[in-house]
Amino acid sequence: MKEWLNPTVRQLQIPGIRHFSNLVSQFPHAINLTVGQPDFATPDHIKKAGCEAIKLNETTYTHNAGLLELRDAASVFMHKKYGINYNPENEILITSGASEGIDTAFRTILQQGDEVILPVPNYPGYEPIIRLCGAKPVLIDTTTNHFKLTVSMLEKAVTDKTKCLLLNFPNNPTGVVLQKEELEELASFLASKTIFILSDEIYSENTYEGEHTSFASLPGMREKTIVINGVSKSHSMTGWRIGFLFAPKEITEEAIKVHSYNTICASTISQHAALSALLKGSLDPALMNKQYLIRRDYMFNRLVKMGFEVVKPQGAFYMFPSIKHLNLASFDFAYRLLSEAGVAVVPGTAFSAEGEGYIRLSYASSLSQLEEGLNRLEKYVKSQHLVS
Ligand SMILES: Cc1ncc(COP(=O)(O)O)c(C=O)c1O
């Protein structure tokens, strides 16, 4: 029976993060620092808008592209915050989370044999979709440059088969942000190339230092960039499943076909809730960011004091310290830390093989949880004489 199934699907692995969180559930007293979503409740006004939508029987399909009011609001958001104009009529799709936007974007542009450049370590949601499209991921190891992609790295990876470059800033798993000047250098290299850019900006509203720059706002980039965003992280709405895809009309008109045949439209109730997020919740991310910032500084200082080498994140809610000095493989270290000390972290290899020698810690947990988790980590590392 199995052999009748699509071999590409059979070869896909269960995501490393899932694999590890399944293990975590066997250790109910562990402090869980693997969490990839905000630990705040969805703001009340958004929940109310969802309930209202149900009461008013807003429970039928919407336009395939999503409610026009929500596309209008998403257009205003992109213009006000990042200075880019997208026509709500034909340049914006409301998707079922950023995930479906990523899937739709890749399936719209990729053909068999195309290459997609992925700076790694990276979020594990891209590579399987690229493979399902028959395309080939080309990985660039950014660990050698504090997780920052440069033009010279890109130059070496581009071939005549390159169809797309994936960018994700603020980044999961490292929390790294590329500054405007760094993005401008990439943009000026890409300007003369026929390469699409898929810019996953789902953590744009979780930027702590400086301003987020949307890649599409850079000279010459709007025409070849598909921007993915959404409300999952910004408004603590991961379970509502609402994302946004912004792209020029020529791309969106094709992408809407892929999206429609996949899902018809995003959940109508959730679209009404997301409308409240955009219209009334512009200050919601800042309230959460205030807490994330306190936690980031706390976690960073503790890790540095323990002797970990770690790049200070400027966005998202993850930290990606090196554990190379502990002389253990990432998975082994994470497993031992979980089973022997009761702290769950994600092995770096969940984010590509280049993540070997790192672990990901999330600070989307209360300060008291972080304190206890880091106390246990410190005690464990000392007691095992792991520090070289
Ligand atoms: C970088 C990145 N992109 C996309 C997603 C998926 O977002 P959504 O829940 O909106 O599908 C995640 C979720 O963790 C992520 O970290």
Q: What is the Å distance from ligand 1's center to 16 Cα?
A: 15
Best residue among 228, 233, 241, 242 to mutate for probing ligand 1, ranked by most atoms within 8 Å of CB:
233
Burial class (CB in 10 A: 0-12, 13-18, 19+), 307: middle
Structural domains of the chain, ranges and CATH numbers in brackets: 2-42+284-383 (3.90.1150.10), 44-280 (3.40.640.10)
Contacts of 4 (CB under 8 A, 6+ apart): none
Q: Which of 81-85, 209-213, 233-237 has the lowest mean pLDDT?
A: 209-213
Give the atom of ligand 1 at the shortest distance from the alpha carbon of 123: 1
pLDDT of 145 reads 97
- 172 Cβ below 6 A of ligand 1: yes
Mean pLDDT of 187-195: 97
Q: What is the Å distance from ligand 1's center to 340 Cα?
A: 31
At 16, is the pLDDT very low, low, confident or very high (cuts 50, 70, 90)? confident
**Is the pLDDT score of 180 beyond 60?**
yes
- 97 Cβ below 6 A of ligand 1: yes
- 364 Cβ below 6 A of ligand 1: no
* Distance from the Cα of residue 272 to its chain's centroid: 23
pLDDT of 19 reads 78
Q: What is the Å distance from ligand 1's center to 160 Cα?
A: 30
For a pLDDT cut of 90, what percent of the chain falls above it? Answer: 93
Higher pLDDT, 387 or 1: 1
pLDDT of 208 reads 93
What's the rounded Cα separation, in Å, for the pair 119 and 127?
Answer: 11
What's the rounded Cα separation, in Å, for the pair 93 and 140?
Answer: 30
pLDDT per residue as tens digits for the range 355-388: 999 999 999 999 999 999 999 999 999 987 665 5
pLDDT of 385 reads 65
**Is the pLDDT score of 212 beyond 70?**
yes
Contacts of 136 (CB under 8 A, 6+ apart): 113, 114, 115, 116, 130, 161
Secondary structure letter of residue 229 according to DSSP: E
Q: What is the Å distance from ligand 1's center to 256 Cα?
A: 20
pLDDT per residue as tens digits for the range 159-175: 999 999 999 999 999 99
Return the structure tokens found at 100: 């479906």
- 200 Cβ below 6 A of ligand 1: yes
Q: Which of 14-28, 198-212, 273-287 has the lowest mean pLDDT?
A: 14-28
pLDDT of 387 reads 57
Return the structure tokens found at 245: 């895809």
Return the structure tokens found at 224: 């070849």
Q: What is the Å distance from ligand 1's center to 306 Cα?
A: 30
What's the rounded Cα separation, in Å, for the pair 225 and 247?
Answer: 6
Q: What is the Å distance from ligand 1's center to 101 Cα?
A: 10
What's the rounded Cα separation, in Å, for the pair 230 and 93?
Answer: 11
- DSSP letters, 228-281, are EEESTTTTT-TTT--EEEE--HHHHHHHHHHHHHHHSSS-HHHHHHHHHHHHH-
pLDDT per residue as tens digits for the range 20-59: 878 888 999 999 999 889 999 999 999 999 999 999 999 9
Burial class (CB in 10 A: 0-12, 13-18, 19+), 159: exposed
Tell me the sheet residues that pair with 207.
315
Crossing angle between the packed helical segments 97-109 and 249-263, to the nearest 10 degrees? 120
- 110: number of CA atoms within 13 Å, CB side? 30
- 15 Cβ below 6 A of ligand 1: no
Mean pLDDT of 250-255: 98
pLDDT of 129 reads 98
pLDDT of 122 reads 98
**Is the pLDDT score of 254 beyond 70?**
yes
* Distance from the Cα of residue 355 to its chain's centroid: 16
Write down the H helix ranges in 306-341.
Answer: 330-336
- 168 Cβ below 6 A of ligand 1: yes
First to last CA, the chain: 51
**Is the pLDDT score of 209 beyond 90?**
no
Run of H or E including 45: helix 44-55
Q: What is the Å distance from ligand 1's center to 182 Cα?
A: 23
What's the rounded Cα separation, in Å, for the pair 258 and 109?
Answer: 11
Tell me the chain's radius of gyration from C-alpha atoms. Answer: 21
pLDDT per residue as tens digits for the range 82-114: 999 999 999 999 999 999 999 999 999 999 999
